[in-house]
Structure 1
């Protein structure tokens, strides 16, 4: 499988980067109490922080709102997923534990202030590329409705779009039956490739410490716009 960044993305935003973790032989299950506790505590700390801090003061949110604008989408209508999480927390509508993969994903997203997606690798078809959504592109999302992805960075395989920094699709969602997964970090454009790889690898180590299995970590960017993964 080849995962690559579309040249259109890099022409309009040369600093765009994606961190990629490929997991195999993992076990997705109820999160250990340690992870549940950390996620809850982190949200409570953010709630108090958000009483005096605007969303625009979080550099990760601001950078991804700028990505939206660069490609023609409205960040006030379709918010980056990390901002949507923060807005829930500000209302004390805390994210409840779901399973280890989703809980870790939410933790990483809040910790690094970036959108993070995780997908069942065996539900993807053929190669994957990141591109800009066309007017007619969208999918049934995990938010329970059809989502238009016009002007939004999206991930698509040889079958259809399935992921984005806005909301992910039902088609490739991770369940407790998932044994191989693809995790995508929508890196802040200001972060250099070396730091991005450190972030991606660190998250992989935490993920496998909880879910077991093996991981391979990559970053695709303008100087290395594609990676090949052996299934």
Structure 2
């Protein structure tokens, strides 16, 4: 599988992290993960009484990038900001399954959008592009979503994921054995910091879900990887 940034994104300072997992077992999250996630959310809520969501470094950096790409960050909030805003209202995330729960935990911890997809529901190579008037899909939010001026990932069948909301087509379930995780990393991180973050995330994910993982980093200097 080839994963690449579209040529139209070559002028932007993007850093996209990729983790490919195989032979994982997705199930109900262990109590340790549920407890850790709940405690983390409660601590975030207290922190956000002093520092509003939009002033948190990772959230602010992605809002700025959102605007640079041409989308309105107030109308189309990236997924990490949406999660943070829920927590600021004490509308805490409820456990779903071990893959989604850890994915959400990473998103809160690193303050970045992250998507996770079932590899067996993907077809062919993957390209990350910038959406136009015709880019849309049925999302996990239960709505038909337009992705104009928003980053999105697409395979041979069409668009399936973005830092805004992911599609229903490639959702990870308890039957998933191979998964692809896309990290929309903060551009201010060095390549070394990005690789360390991905390695740490891959290690924790497989400690819970088993399997093996491979990491890669896409940027304007290195726009393509093969997994």
**TM-score for both structures, normalised by structure 1:** 0.97
Checking the alignment, whether the CA contact within 8 Å between 1:132 and 1:152 is kept in structure 2 is yes
CA distance in 1, matches of 2:141, 2:72: 18
Q: Which of the residues 59, 63, 66 maps onto 2:64?
A: 66
Task: Give unpaired runs (5+ residues) of structure 1.
Answer: none
Give the distance between the partners of 1:68 and 1:205, measured in 2 at CA: 29
User: Structure 1 residue 5 and structure 2 residue 5: aligned?
Assistant: yes
Q: Deviation per CA, 1:110-145, whole angstroms, max 9, x where unpaired?
A: 000000100001101111011100111111101011
Cα deviation, residue 56, structure 1? 2.4
Cα RMSD, aligned residues only: 0.7
Residues of 2 paired with 1:149 and 1:201: CA distance?
Answer: 30
Aligned position for 1:40 = 38
CA distance in 2 between partners of 1:64 and 1:10 (Å): 18
Q: Residues of 2 paired with 1:130 and 1:227: CA distance?
A: 12
Structure 2: stretches of 5+ with no match in the other structure: none
Structure 1 CA distance, aligned partners of 2:159 and 2:65?
19
User: Given the two structures, how large is their TM-score scaled by the length of structure 2?
Assistant: 0.98
Report deviation, 1:9.
Answer: 1.4
For 2:41 and 2:127, how far apart are their aligned partners in 1?
A: 33
- For these two proteins, the number of residue pairs brought into alignment is 227
* Greater than 3 Å deviation, 4+ residue runs: none
Q: Could you tell me how far 1:169 is from its partner in structure 2? A: 0.4
Q: How do residues 116-195 of structure 1 correspond to structure 2 at under 5 angstroms? A: 116-195=114-193
Using the alignment, how far apart are the partners of 1:162 and 1:177 within structure 2?
Answer: 19
Three-state SS of the structure 2 residue aligned to 1:162 is strand
Task: Indicate which of 108, 111, 120 corresponds to 1:110.
Answer: 108
CA distance in 2, matches of 1:208, 1:179: 12
Once residues 55 and 44 of structure 1 are traced to their aligned partners in structure 2, the CA distance between those partners, rounded to angstroms, is 14
Task: Note if contact 1:193-1:221 (Cα within 8 Å) is conserved in structure 2.
Answer: no
1:10 positional shift: 2.2
Q: Deviations over 1:41-61 (max 9, x none)?
A: 000001111112112221111
